[in-house]
Amino acid sequence: MIFDLFEYSFNGLKRRKIRTWLTLIAIIIGVSLVIALVSIGDGLKYNINQELDKFGVGNIIIIPGSSEKTMQSAMGPNGQLILQDHLWDKDVDMLKSLPGIESVDSMVITGSTTITFRGKQVTSPVYGFSSTHLFDYLKTYSIEKGRNIKPGDKHVAVLGYGFANDLFDEKLDVGSKIYINGVRYRVIGILSEIGGISGNSDDSVIYVPYDEAVDMAGNRLLKGEVSVIYVHTNGDIDKMVERIRGAIRNSHKLGNEEDDFTIITAEFVKHKVDSILNAITVFLGFISGISLFVGGIGIMNTMYMVIIERTREIGTLKAIGAKDKDIMTAFVIESTLLGLIGGVIGICLGLIFSNVIAMFGLYSTVDIELILITLSIAVILGVIAGIIPAMRVLKMDPADALRYE
């Protein structure tokens, strides 16, 4: 009996091929969007976490300003940006004395600085590290050509890959001469390309000896101020973060005030990024879910039309003794098949799209649970979209149905 109902429903779909495919399109689009957009969101999360893994488990970055508020700032003399929260050399010295810390390095950032190469000028921040320990711990930074800056070096520079290859009309290489604020510098090293989620920003950097960077910064930095502090530890990262936070709070005499600094670890960034990407993924799933819902409405509309067009046929079935529940079941099977077929095709298209995205370097993964949930939703929509119109069968009188034109 059930086989006969499936055959009857399937033949009904075949008799109106164009309408069937038009109805399927909405479900196919909805399902494929759910699969593709959610997989893109998961892929973005994976890619970002992969990049963050390069940050290094034992690395801690400390920057001025609380993460819980917008960093307060004011414009100082000559239009430079003066931050109201600061880190100091004394913080660096204090952190070096804490147990469990392997190394502490500071960095200064000059702000907008004029750099000239063969007549072309660009403006860029210039960075200075107090030592080269950071390059040993951060997996993203490695020398591709030449060498790193050594203690005692004067007027030398290490360039990011993008700075050396993209900013000027000609590529810079080890031995090239550039001018920073009118002073000649010799390029002694080129960093490997970083790329990834940072795009070209981390590749467009230039490093000079620490003391020279401090001089370039001028009154952009206060006496004894540093821009960033880098800490490396082999101990428990969570315990070290709390130890560092307490030490800096004491150093800054904060009392009951909130932190005037932010401690960044790989887990800190992952938490922030995951929160954002989870919200984006939910939003994308919601948008594509609306499309899927519209597809369900399309099935319902089609089934209403089918039942109206086949009123005389329903009357004939009733006249020869077919039960209302069997007729209704046939129409529900028909709408369910629309949901199932559209869901399967949509899943296939979503998988194809996610694989195409993966070819462009974005990791894309489709969870089997997502496939099963999406297919189930498509089928359930098909069932509901068939039950509601099929209720009309109960109200049909066989004689009236047979006379329907």
Helix (H) or strand (E) holding 303: helix 266-309
Give the count of beta carbons closer than 10 Å to the beta carbon of residue 84: 11
Domains of the chain by residue range = 2-51+271-403, 58-264
Identity of the highest mean pLDDT range in 57-66, 100-109, 173-182, 299-308: 173-182
pLDDT at 236: 83
pLDDT at position 78? 39
Q: What is the DSSP string of 55-90?
A: T-TTEEEEEES-TTSPPPEEE-GGG-EEESS-EEHH
Residue for token pair 């529940």: 325
Model confidence at 389: pLDDT above 90: no
pLDDT of 198: 46
pLDDT over 80 (residue 120): yes
Where b means 16+ CB within 10 Å and e means fewer, 335-363 reads bbbbbbbbbbbbbebbbebbeebeeeeeb
Q: Residue 395 has what pLDDT?
A: 64
- In DSSP notation, 126-150 reads -EEESSSHHHHH-TT--EEEE----
Q: Do 229 and 106 form a contact (C-beta atoms < 8 A)?
A: yes
Q: What is the DSSP string of 6-34?
A: HHHHHHHHHHTHHHHHHHHHHHHHHHHHH
- 346-384: per-residue pLDDT in tens? 999 988 888 887 777 666 777 788 889 888 988 898 888
pTM of the complete model: 0.64
Q: How far is CA 17 from the centre of its chain?
A: 41
User: Three-class SS of residue 261?
Assistant: strand
Query: Partners of 114 in the beta sheet?
Result: 123
The share of the chain scoring above pLDDT 90, in percent, equals: 19
Mean pLDDT of the chain: 80
pLDDT grade for 330, boundaries at 50, 70 and 90: confident
Residues 20-37 have a mean pLDDT of 83
- 68 pLDDT band (50/70/90 cuts)? low
* Mean pLDDT value across residues 291-310: 80
From 153-157, 170-174, 264-268, 391-395, the region with the lowest mean pLDDT: 391-395
